[in-house]
Amino acid sequence: MDLSIYIGGKKLVNPVGVASGTFGYGSEYEKLVDFTGLGALYTKTVTLKSRSGNKCPRIIETPSGMLNSIGLANVGVDRFISEKLPLLEQAGCALIPNIAGFTEYEYAAILKRLEASHLPWGYEINISCPNVSHGGFTFGTNPAMVEHLTAKLRRITEKPLIIKLTPNVTDIRGIAQAAENGGADAVSCINTLVGMVIDTKTKKPVLGNITGGLSGPAIRPVGVASVYRVKRAVTIPVIGLGGIMTADDAIQYFLAGASAIQIGTGNFVDPGIPQKVLAGIKDYCEHEGMKTIGDFHQFIE
Amino acid sequence: MKQIQAKVTGNNQIAKDYYKLVFSWEPPPDTGPGDSYPDFPNPQPGQFITIRVSETTVPLLRRPFAFSGYNAETGEASIIYLKRGKGTEILAGKCPGEYIDIIGPLGNYLKKPENKQKPVLVAGGIGLGPLLYFSSMLDQWQIPHLFIFGARTARYVPDMNSLKNVAICTDDGSKGFAGTVADFLNNFEEKELEHTMLYCCGPLPMLKACHGFATEYDLECYVVMEQIMACGVGACMGCTIKLKKPQGYARVCTEGPVFKSRDIAWT
Ligand SMILES: Cc1cc2nc3c(=O)[nH]c(=O)nc-3n(C[C@H](O)[C@H](O)[C@H](O)COP(=O)(O)OP(=O)(O)OC[C@H]3O[C@@H](n4cnc5c(N)ncnc54)[C@H](O)[C@@H]3O)c2cc1C
Ligand SMILES: Cc1cc2nc3c(=O)[nH]c(=O)nc-3n(C[C@H](O)[C@H](O)[C@H](O)COP(=O)(O)O)c2cc1C
Ligand code: FES
């Protein structure tokens, strides 16, 4: 059995990663998790300048899930490179910085700075940000903007470029195709779904930011359906995420067409989940006589 | 910080809706050759653990609770908690011999006061646990102190006989002083307050009142804060509170839960 996978010609030793924003800059989990067992570590979104984030409270639990409105709080790309990345020098797993900008220029500027470091294995591009130079429309909701942005970033790096899709769109397939046309090596889906909780005592939204992003087991069926549809629209690998807590959840994603998966909210519940999921995938492969992740895709009709 | 399966050794009701859970670092049998948690770090007062109360997805997130005591000889630690929702209801059903998934100790802690300082501990409701632990440490250091505990009514007041110098306040006057802990503080004479240091843990309005009192008399005041948490280890940036400029937001789980009250941007 060989569970390694390739994205943009580069190898990941196993298909289980930890999702951006749920694993900090990695070092926070150092004492709890053996990084060498992780296929990939996607770090918290970095932006060009540091961001302090949204008003509090920023999280609230919902049925089988949670809402967050962290507001991309992060140290900014320069401190990320000088302070955070070096901590991961010895991590022993693929490091995939996740980046976001509010203009195309910002995305490009961040990527150029990261290119100076040898540590990133590749990049994940968070396109769930408003494009302030184009009326504030979220990059990820407009195929033309996605294709243009991807093509621009493609010219900057030869490392694997993964576009992370938002499910808050009318048709996720068109966005995935735009990423492929722009030269992406893979797409990951899904980011969080917009949601809200209202406190009936105060009659006001609970989150300081009013709305937040829904994640956790509640969104898993949305994630699986997104992967299923995207896989049938593109030829590049699809990375599935959304609500994965167990190996069975992950296997659903592989059967839908994912080549790799990420665990997000699950890390909060039990930092041991990525390791348990990987072990469970191996057991399943052994039991079902599967030798590679590609074997899961023979069931795709 | 570690993630372990801790063994429940006690879980008893101590007042209306309040429980004390006692657990030890003893790992489950058959966890592997020679498995134990010898290097589990000693918890400090103010620090907390997160517990995964159930394997189901409702409730989903781990629940944070402050240490209310620790016995280095037996390796037993405790928390005091209020049964208020789904998670704490499940916790109240845990029996001795069961194992619970905990991560800890987390966060910063209450430090030993300097020589001439006179600590006054002010606890309200679920703020009791961490200050009980701090009080026992002050006893060990032989530092005399006053413990003030506030509750709505007598039924919410657990047995506090272990404390040497305690003042109980109830909002309805059914036990001890009639009024809030803030009312109680306001009865102090200014000259009695010299070198007084406040350590406060409890509901937000109480903490604000303590901060107001400390500001008025220019006292040092530490508060143990709460915020809803997801990761508990500093990774999600979810548990922030606002500090005064230039500090900005701080994570309760990592920079806290103990803060100087004058650093907080109270609203
Ligand atoms: C650092 C820290 C230390 C704490 N120490 C204690 C303690 O010693 N004793 C005690 O009784 N309580 C303590 N709490 C509060 C305790 O975590 C909540 O009472 C508990 O999570 C409620 O869970 P529930 O499912 O029973 O209630 P729910 O019905 O889920 O929620 C009731 C209320 O509890 C709070 N809460 C819910 N989920 C969380 C969460 N994930 N993180 C933080 N707060 C939450 C919210 O204010 C919510 O409105 C502490 C909280 C923090 C942050
Ligand atoms: C607290 C929190 C913070 C997040 N921050 C980011 C982020 O900075 N960038 C990003 O691309 N996705 C972020 N996400 C989205 C996750 O990476 C993931 O796409 C989503 O949560 C769905 O997966 P899950 O259900 O396994 O959590 C965040 C999610 C959570 C819960
Ligand atoms: S709970 Fe995640 S940073 Fe504090």
Residues B31 and B93 in one domain: yes
Domain endpoint, select from B106, B136, B166: B106
Model pLDDT, residue B55? 95
How far apart are alpha carbons A121 and A262 in whole angstroms? Answer: 16
Q: Is pLDDT above 60 for A149? A: yes
Residues B125 and B147 in one domain: yes
Asked whether residue B153 is assigned to any structural domain, the reply reads: yes
Q: Is pLDDT above 80 for B31? A: no
How far apart are alpha carbons B35 and A131 in whole angstroms? Answer: 53
The pairing of strands A65-68 and A94-96 is unpaired
Residues contacting residue B128 through CB under 8 Å, at least 6 positions apart: B18, B68, B80, B149, B158, B201
Q: What is the pLDDT of residues B183-227, one digit of tens each?
A: 999 999 888 899 999 999 999 999 999 999 999 999 999 999 999
Q: Is pLDDT above 70 for B36? A: no
Residues B129 and B79 in one domain: no
How many CB atoms sit inside 10 A of residue B139's CB? Answer: 14
Model pLDDT, residue B41? 76
The number of folded domains in chain B is 2
What is the pLDDT averaged over residues A266-279?
97
Residues contacting residue A290 through CB under 8 Å, at least 6 positions apart: A1, A284, A296
What letter does residue A192 receive in the DSSP assignment? P
Higher pLDDT, B41 or B253: B253
What residues of chain B lie within 8 A of the CB of A29, using their CB?
233, 235
Model pLDDT, residue B74? 85
* Whether A59 and B235 lie within 8 Å, measured CB to CB: no
The number of folded domains in chain A is 1
* Containing structural domain, residue A283: 5-298
Model pLDDT, residue A248? 98
Asked whether residue B155 is assigned to any structural domain, the reply reads: yes
How far apart are alpha carbons B26 and B5 in whole angstroms? Answer: 8
Domain endpoint, select from B106, B130, B149: B106
Q: How far is the CA of A285 from the centre of ligand 2 (A)?
A: 28
The length of chain A in residues reads: 301
Higher pLDDT, A5 or B31: A5
Q: How far is the CA of A263 from the centre of ligand 3 (A)?
A: 17
Confidence band of A135 (pLDDT split at 50, 70, 90) = confident
Q: Are the beta carbons of B257 and B133 closer than 8 angstroms? A: no
What is the pLDDT averaged over residues B224-243?
97
The pairing of strands A65-68 and A212-215 is antiparallel
How far apart are alpha carbons A239 and A264 in whole angstroms? Answer: 13
How many CB atoms sit inside 10 A of residue B71's CB? Answer: 12
CB-side exposure of A237: number of CA atoms within 13 Å? 23
Report the SS3 class of residue A17. Answer: strand
What are the tokens at A14?
């196993």
- With vertex at residue A97, the alpha carbon angle to CA A93 and CA A100, rounded to the nearest 5 degrees, is 165
Model pLDDT, residue B30? 65
Higher pLDDT, A301 or A117: A117
Catalytic residues of A: 129
Tell me, yes or no, if B90 comes closer than 8 A to chain A by beta carbon.
no
DSSP characters for chain B? -EEEEEEEEEEEEEETTEEEEEEE-PPPTTSSTT---TTPPPP-TT-EEEEE--SSSSS-S-EEEEEEEEETTTTEEEEEEE--SHHHHHHHT--TT-EEEEEEEES--PPPPPTT-EEEEEEEGGGHHHHHHHHHHHHHTT---EEEEEESSGGG----TT-SSEEEEETTSSSSEES-HHHHHHTS-GGGGTTEEEEEES-HHHHHHHHHHHHHTT-EEEEE-----SSSSSSS--SEEEBSTTT-EEETTTT-SEEEGGGB---
Asked whether residue B196 is assigned to any structural domain, the reply reads: yes
What residues of chain B lie within 8 A of the CB of A245, using their CB?
57
Q: How far is the CA of A178 from the centre of ligand 2 (A)?
A: 22
Residues B43 and B79 in one domain: yes
Asked whether residue B195 is assigned to any structural domain, the reply reads: yes
| H/E run at residue A281 | helix A273-288
Q: Is pLDDT above 70 for B34? A: no
Q: What is the pLDDT of residues A51-90, one digit of tens each?
A: 999 999 999 999 999 999 999 999 999 999 999 999 998 8
Mean pLDDT of chain A: 96
Asked whether residue B267 is assigned to any structural domain, the reply reads: no
Q: Are the beta carbons of A115 and A157 closer than 8 angstroms? A: yes
Asked whether residue B203 is assigned to any structural domain, the reply reads: yes
Beta bridge partners of residue A126, listed in sequence order: A164
Model pLDDT, residue B26? 75
Tell me whether the omega of the peptide bond preceding residue B27 falls within 30 degrees of 0, making it cis.
Answer: no
What residues of chain B lie within 8 A of the CB of A73, using their CB?
237, 240, 249
Confidence band of A117 (pLDDT split at 50, 70, 90) = very high
**Closest Cβ opposite residue B60 in set A23, A44, A65:** A65
* Containing structural domain, residue B170: 118-224
Model pLDDT, residue B75? 85
How far apart are alpha carbons A175 and A188 in whole angstroms? Answer: 11
Residues B94 and B144 in one domain: no
Residues B20 and B64 in one domain: yes
* Whether B231 and A22 lie within 8 Å, measured CB to CB: yes
Q: What percent of chain B has pLDDT over 90?
A: 86
What is the pLDDT averaged over residues B170-189?
95
The domain that holds B219 is classified in CATH as 3.40.50.80
Asked whether residue B136 is assigned to any structural domain, the reply reads: yes
Query: Which of A174-188, B5-19, B24-38, B185-199 has the least mean pLDDT?
Result: B24-38
What letter does residue A105 receive in the DSSP assignment? H
Beta bridge partners of residue B259, listed in sequence order: B223
Ligand 1 atom 11: residue of nearest CA: B81
The domain that holds A255 is classified in CATH as 3.20.20.70
How far apart are alpha carbons B123 and B138 in whole angstroms? Answer: 15
Residues B95 and B184 in one domain: no
Q: Is pLDDT above 80 for B40? A: no
Q: Is pLDDT above 70 for B33? A: no
Residues B94 and B13 in one domain: yes
Place of tokens 């007084």: B196
Confidence band of A299 (pLDDT split at 50, 70, 90) = confident
Report the SS3 class of residue A152. Answer: helix
Q: Check the CA dihedral A50-A54-A57-A58 and report its sign.
A: negative
Residues B96 and B137 in one domain: no
Asked whether residue B15 is assigned to any structural domain, the reply reads: yes
Give the global pTM.
0.96
What is the pLDDT averaged over residues A228-250?
98
Q: Is pLDDT above 70 for A22? A: yes
Higher pLDDT, B20 or A133: B20
What are the tokens at A209?
């930011």
Model pLDDT, residue B32? 58
How many CB atoms sit inside 10 A of residue B42's CB? Answer: 11
Mean pLDDT of chain B: 93
Residues B102 and B132 in one domain: no
The domain that holds B10 is classified in CATH as 2.40.30.10
Domain endpoint, select from B45, B78, B106: B106
Model pLDDT, residue B37? 62
- What does each C-alpha distance from A93 to A5, A14, A40, B224 come to in angstroms? 14, 10, 6, 37
Query: Which of A77-86, A106-115, A274-283, B242-251 has the least mean pLDDT?
Result: B242-251
